[in-house]
Structure 1
Amino acid sequence: MNYRLIIIPLLLAGTAACNSGPKTPEDKKSWAIADVQIAVKSRLRDPDSAQFSNVHAITYDGQNIVCGYVNATNGFGGKSGQQRFVGAGSAVFLEEDGADAVNEAWSKFGC
């Protein structure tokens, strides 16, 4: 599947339903990061092994987009290595989904 065609609309739509909760911009970014980290973990083979780094939220067109890196245990019991991700709400794309799509999102959102 070509994720490049759907990644940006899904990310922007992913935050549209998140109208309740924190009110300050910094609180909204913190909540956005927490939501995306949960969504990333749900995609991993061993969610409890997830180690996040360089995670930050960017406001783009009024929405919080979260970018960062995750490293987790793979099927062989070792760490898989740093993998980039980008997400908003429960819509998350990992580098393993398609590096080109993640590259495009990182460029567009300024990750």
Structure 2
Amino acid sequence: MARMRNIASGAYAACVEAQRARTPPVNWTPTRIHAAARQAVTDKLRDPSSAQFRNVRRIEHSNGSTMFCGEVNSRNAYGGMSGYQRFEAGVDRTGDASALIDGGEALNTTYFEGAWNQFCGRIAGTPVQF
């Protein structure tokens, strides 16, 4: 019950934020950040070795995180190429990488659309080879 009170009061969120502030940022090169983001995307694919990327942009955020937006194509279960789908991948300041692929997970469709419109929908970032 005490845990529920802490979550409801915001004490839990304050504790998580304090822990995040104590976690030292990684001092990665842009190449290492790029590799971590690419790995996060390919981990979501059925056949990672067949991944083809296009229209990829790199966006630096003021909080130290880096985001990549673009399109990925890979082989599906039948061995054919599935067609290009939008993706977004991010690496936070502590080196944790995550990715979402449009249509990859049904529960994330609304979240993906909102995030894409906010960060990737407008022409922003630096074009990169992924």
User: What is the TM-score normalised by the length of structure 1?
Assistant: 0.69
Q: Which has the larger radius of gyration?
A: 2
Question: RCO greater where, 1 or 2, for CA within 8 Å and sep 6 or more?
Answer: 1
Q: CA deviation at 1:38?
A: 1.1
Instruction: Report the RMSD for the aligned CA atoms in angstroms.
Output: 2.2
Aligned to 1:60: 61
1:69 to 46, 68, 71: 71
Q: CA deviation at 1:31?
A: 3.6
Cα 1:46–1:110 change in 2 (3 A) is closer
Separation in 1, partners of 2:43, 2:82: 16
Residue-pair matches, total:
91
Query: Does the CA contact (< 8 Å) of 1:84 and 1:102 recur in 2?
Result: no
User: What is the TM-score normalised by the length of structure 2?
Assistant: 0.60
Q: Percent identity?
A: 32
Question: For residues 1-111 of structure 1, what are the structure 2 equivalents within 5 Å?
Answer: 19-22=26-29, 28=30, 30-62=31-63, 63-89=65-91, 90-95=97-102, 96-97=104-105, 98-111=108-121
Q: Which runs of 5+ in 1 are unaligned?
A: 1-12, 23-27
Partner deviation per Cα, 1:11-50 (whole Å, 9 max, x = no partner)? xx8xx8751222xxxxx3x443322111111111111000
Q: Which runs of 5+ in 2 are unaligned?
A: 1-19, 92-96, 122-130
Aligned to 1:3: none
Separation in 2, partners of 1:99, 1:39: 18
